[in-house]
Amino acid sequence: MNKETFSVGIVMGSDSDLKVMSQAADVLEALGVSFEIRILSAHREPQEFFDYAKAANERYKIIIAGAGKAAHLPGMTAALFDGPVIGVPMKTSDLGGVDSLYSIVQMPSGIPVATVAIGGAANAGLLAARMLAMTDDRLLERYRDYVRRQKEAVIEKDERLSEIGYKEYLAQ
């Protein structure tokens, strides 16, 4: 197994989750946080998953785990990994992702998983960065710049809306 270390591990149960989970990667990349992305199924390849989760203590500081339906991946990761796990519930065709959300937030006492909104991988990336920034002043400054740029974007949009009106704004 690869021994390279990263600040954050991003793991998902299926490549169908990649479009959502890539949002966490995009945020981490924008903030200069090292990460690795993997596809592992706790159900379909349990031994490979257990090997990954056990080795994770030596490779990552935080893991972001995305899963749908029964959504066991975040909880099982938290059971084996000593660091923080952030769960990202995936939207599902059956129950719209509520099943995933409930599965992730209803962890038993002693196995915590921080959980973001259904499909909220960007916020998972931001939360991981905020956790890491507690001991990294340079990352904290990059995070604050990211937040400042978001604020400036909203101000610019508001000014544009006031300038051209809502109908033209919507037509853009």
The interaxial angle of helices 137-164 and 121-133, nearest 10 deg, is 140
Q: What is the pLDDT of residue 46?
A: 92
Chain mean pLDDT for the chain: 95
pLDDT surpasses 70 at 1 = no
Q: What is the pLDDT of residue 3?
A: 77
Confidence class for position 166, pLDDT limits 50, 70, 90: very high
Question: What mean pLDDT comes out for the span 70-88?
Answer: 95
Q: What is the pLDDT of residues 122-143, one digit of tens each?
A: 999 999 999 999 999 999 999 9
Q: What is the pLDDT of residues 92-105, one digit of tens each?
A: 998 999 999 999 99
The interaxial angle of helices 46-59 and 72-80, nearest 10 deg, is 50
Name residue, tokens 């056990």.
54
Q: What is the pLDDT of residues 147-157, one digit of tens each?
A: 999 999 999 99
pLDDT surpasses 90 at 63 = yes
Global confidence as pTM: 0.93
* 117 CB neighbour count, 10 Å cutoff: 13
Confidence class for position 2, pLDDT limits 50, 70, 90: low
Tell me the CA distances in angstroms from 80 to 42, 76, 157, one per residue in order.
12, 7, 45
Q: What is the pLDDT of residue 25?
A: 98
Q: What percent of the chain has pLDDT over 70?
A: 99
SS (H, E, C) the chain: CCCCCCCEEEEECCHHHHHHHHHHHHHHHHCCCCEEEEECCCCCCHHHHHHHHHHHHHHCCEEEEEECCCCHHHHHHHHHCCCCEEEEECCCCCCCCHHHHHHHHCCCCCCCCEECCCCCHHHHHHHHHHHHHCCCHHHHHHHHHHHHHHHHHHHHHHHHHHHHCHHHHHHC
Asked if the 8-135 domain carries CATH number 3.40.50.1970, the reply is yes
Cβ-Cβ contacts under 8 Å for 89 (sequence gap 6 or more): 66, 67, 68, 71, 97, 100, 101, 103, 104, 115, 116, 117, 118, 119, 120
Q: Which residues of 26-42 are buried (b: 16+ CB within 10 A; e: fewer)?
A: ebbeebebebbbeebbb
